[in-house]
Amino acid sequence: MRIVIVGLGVIGGSFGMALKNNGYKDVYGIDKDINTLKKAKDMGIIKEGYEDGRQILKSADFIIISIYPKLILNFIKENKDNFKEGAVITDATGIKEMFIDDIVKILPDGVDFIFGHPMAGREKKGIDYADDKVFNGANYIITPIERNKDENIELVENLVYDIGFKSVKKIGSKYHDEMIAFTSQLPHVIAVSLINSDEEGRDTGSFIGDSYRELTRIANINEELWSELFLGNRENLLRTIEKFDEELLKMKKAIEDNDKNILCELFKNATFRREQL
């Protein structure tokens, strides 16, 4: 099976490493940056790299697109005549509803797009931060659409298990985006808000323990990617922020009221839920 990775950033590069380390050999790369292609080839994760992917796409059985969400539709548009009959495409985008319909509209009949979401990543961007270990034991989500062939979904499923993911969940894209707003986007909103709420000029570093460090790790954030992801999932994200804010204000009120009982209840509920995870 010939695999082409489109976009060899931190995620595409990690896919490349994971494929290499699990015996996939016929792997090629497309990237707009020639240095990235060179690095990928030097690392041995692609056989060859292309700035212009038209030629290699024509022989690709499996295409992994890991470029910025907004660029994906355009990539499909530009290459719709370059895909091989029977080719399977997948992506790695954190939200789905935003573009599925638009992509399906222009996708050739003989090409199947299995929308996927590896629940793993890094704060940093670029191939230098690629690391296939982030996939180990992580969750993977597929959001099937009607026209997907079962065997193609299975192909993606098997491949991601192969490269280290521990669970593959198949769900509708609407539910996916709702859940992701809560489990992934809201934590990023919180981390950014937390670190931005620090007063300037304080020696905060001397007062942090594990908790602050953990809660702000993801505040080191790729602004281009995450603003696209946030705005592409606006309604869902706004709803989770509101629900979170309600809980925050509930706790604030308990503190204002010196109400130890309510505080303890909130803590017990949180502890119970955390242990369920």
Closest contact distance (angstroms) between CB of 42 and its own copies is: 28
- Residue nearer to its own copies on the CB measure, 52 or 277: 277
- Residue nearer to its own copies on the CB measure, 55 or 269: 269
- Residue nearer to its own copies on the CB measure, 79 or 93: 93
d(CA 8, CA 190) in angstroms, rounded, equals 29
- Residue nearer to its own copies on the CB measure, 73 or 221: 221
Closest contact distance (angstroms) between CB of 54 and its own copies is: 31
Closest contact distance (angstroms) between CB of 99 and its own copies is: 17
Closest contact distance (angstroms) between CB of 172 and its own copies is: 13
3-state secondary structure the chain: CCEEEECCCHHHHHHHHHHHHCCCCCEEEECCCHHHHHHHHHCCCCCCEECCCHHHHCCCCEEEECCCHHHHHHHHHHHCCCCCCCCEEEECCCCCHHHHHHHHHHCCCCCEEECEEECCCCCCCCHHHCCHHHHCCCEEEECCCCCCCHHHHHHHHHHHHHCCCCEEEECCHHHHHHHHHHHHHHHHHHHHHHHHCCCCCCCHHHHCCHHHHHHHHHHCCCHHHHHHHHHCCHHHHHHHHHHHHHHHHHHHHHHHCCCHHHHHHHHHHHHHHHHHC
Closest contact distance (angstroms) between CB of 32 and its own copies is: 21
- Residue nearer to its own copies on the CB measure, 82 or 226: 226
Closest contact distance (angstroms) between CB of 82 and its own copies is: 31
- Residue nearer to its own copies on the CB measure, 129 or 244: 244
